[in-house]
Structure 1
Amino acid sequence: MEEQNVLADMLDWRKNFGVTTMKDFDLKELNAIRQYYPQGYHGVDKEGRPVYIERLGKINFERLMKVTTLDRYIKYQIQQYEKTLTVRFPACSAAANKHINRSIAILDVEGVSLKNFTTPVQKVLMQLRKIYNEDYPETVHQMVIVNASPGFRLLWNTVKCFLDTDTIAKIQVIGNKYQSKLLELIDKSELPDFLGGSCNCKHEGGCLRSDKGPWKETSKAEELKLKK
């Protein structure tokens, strides 16, 4: 009965939020957003799962809110969740020749501590985590947090209070000697150079702007269909 209630709530949320039409949402300020909040999908792990990367230590929230709004940014993230379910996972499944329905997440928290975990930043992150936990559960296989300083570890002890035990079990927090762990999970050619890999996507403005992955050709094909 509880699972049925969760499903019903999720379906109501998708209907009320207009999730099915979210693919048409155009975030014209995306390049500026990525400048002040670097994040994106890039490559696959050794099992063929899509890899999502955020550089939380590079967030400039004040400037971010000058180029967009919280509502628009949340809509963009929901759009990306939907793309992962409908485009990235199927494309990765086809490329790996097996069912792929989870991703790998890497959070680079260099420079993050209690000092810069301000109320506005908390509001954005908690809103995103709420949507993820309630409406896109069980889509992350593993999360690796890298460049964790002593200050971040104090913050992490606070943040963990908002997470369920299953989520916490998927998360590994590492300091600045993280390269060997990431290379256990991801081939060097698929990992950005700023994380110890060999990829830089220099012709596409950097790895977090490239959206590199098996899904990219699928997305191009869909765009061509829409233009016809």
Structure 2
Amino acid sequence: MRIDIITVLPGLLEGPFSHSILKRAEDKGLAEVRLHDLRKYGIGKQRNVDDYAFGGGAGMVMMIEPIINCMTDLKSQRQYDEVIYMTPDGDSFNQSMANKLSLKKNLIILCGHYKGVDERVREHLITREISIGDFVLSGGELAAAVVTDAIIRLLPGVLNDETSALTDSFQDGLLAPPVYTRPADFDGWKVPEVLLSGHAANIESWRFEQSVRRTRERRPDLIAGGISAEKGDNIEERNDN
């Protein structure tokens, strides 16, 4: 997978992509993330990328010309499955969306800044708009890093144990169950006996029940509409028992 990120602040993203799982994915040749400084495509001697909004009002707007010039350059080198714009009014990012995007090959992510981009960019160049929450950041860079991390960690071979991603919160519409490690007894705080039993079926049943309980307590909205009918029937059956 290759992800090209267009930004006016490439330095803000260098850190997240130089460490941990994202760095490991690139070292293994499983993913490639490239940062593109939009100012290199800026207009005039000053390399301007923003201008005042027509009609007045506070704040600057990202200009269409630098963006389209950058995207044209990228598209001349390869085909892209999606051109994503990070914006507070985009579709809410979730695990299901991450799963689907992880199946793509080439992505462009445009980071918004200032008061956003010229609307014509959104109308004619963008194929998907994504938000990571109902709040506003100074720019789309941190949001782009979040989306990139969520996608790349799902690629086969990135995690040491590929089954790890399959048991994350939200993968089956539920939050992940509690987890424990050594020591089994720390100052009287004990690990649940079932986890020490070695009985795989009982452990799996306990984990499922804990996931349901935690989801009902913390994210009841997921129970209401985020899981399959079959999973919901299993939840009700286990609760009845």
State the TM-score, normalizing by the size of structure 1. 0.30
Structure with more relative contact order (C-alpha pairs < 8 Å, separation 6 or more): 1
State the TM-score, normalizing by the size of structure 2. 0.29
Larger Rg: 2
